Amino acid sequence: MFLYQQTPRNVLKLIVSSTTWSENSYEDGYSEAKFEVNRKGTNYILITIKNLTPKEEAMYFCAASDH
């Protein structure tokens, strides 16, 4: 699973990737303190964005792969 943030200026940034065989991998500038990812098995992931501010206004997208 991949979580992306697209800012109002259309910049698309990867926030975190998560796999069934390893821990969540956060990109520079992002952390679990803000973007919490809980894998609930192989087919279900809960993503919580904590304490949003106007600075974080964006579209958020998830992508998945079944490799």
Report pTM: 0.81
Q: Minimal CA–CA distance to 16: which of 51, 49, 43? A: 49
Each residue's pLDDT, cut to its tens digit, for the chain (67 residues) gives 899 999 888 989 999 998 877 789 999 999 999 999 988 777 788 899 999 899 888 999 998 877 6
